[in-house]
Structure 1
């Protein structure tokens, strides 16, 4: 069972000065990996005592931080100073708020014009390029329509020519002729052969000598 520490107990634990590192410290501990057989606090306490005896800790504390830095010309009182870029050298126009486009919805699967023909790039770059091309085509189409609008208005203002189809007397006469002569009597001679494939009744064809061993045309002619 884990029992959490109270705030006073935690403060006392973190403020201890026993000469060892706090348990759970994940920074660099010199020669710690070579210490075996003792607990963490005893090992770190022994390491810090050895460093103090050798004067390593005193040397690091006495020396000013980055005193012998090769970039001393860029240091101010031993510390780095912020380099001011007065001419906007670090400005990135791609992420500038004035030029930044609206973010796309993550996982958006709707239609983006020309998106299916772009490969080898990220979704946002392909979408931006597709939208830019679509906007450019729309502006070109708007310019073309703006130029054609006066011509279209002028062509519509001209009087329309009347079609002569309604005044075609020849077509009217042909329609009247076809209407009056659509159904008319036609005399068919008995000598005219029957239609090929005719299966209607032909008198005396079946069961008589008229059709016995005769061709269909001859039998039909004799029967009629």
Structure 2
């Protein structure tokens, strides 16, 4: 039996869309729901947000897991495209690092729901396959952080795949995501100030780390 929410959604379900268009519309609406509710969101909520019957939603995505995987994959593709200009680019390492930070911060600002699905602390996984997708999203960002300074790492004789470099990359990206969460609570702060703060801290901290600087206790 249809719920009241589904009956309401059916009233607006008049237009017929090609399958590819319908799929994209479902994924965009599902992104909004998952961003707010995490993977706990149920198919009734999503069907209502899409303005379609639950049976139609199940036709396109037989399980909630299938839908969530498709949402994460779509948003990861968006992020990868957004970061493409800095991956494999040449030029001054600091300028490339700043560019990468700018691209990521801009993505978080312009696609807040996509960012929440990929990186927010409330994002939850349904099973190991989703864990792998989230890990891939995180690793993609780690690559973007490391790419601008890969040449310097090589010049210092460090292995870009070493645990030491991996630890630093995790700290750098963790700092980026935490500051973006802070920014949401302080929207009066200009995006340029957020980018400058990240570059000041992360770039110069990374340089010291790669150069072998260490804290010396008295």
TM-score for the superposition, normalised by structure 2: 0.19
Q: Which has the higher contact order (CA 8 A, sep 6+)?
A: 2
Bigger Rg, which one: 1
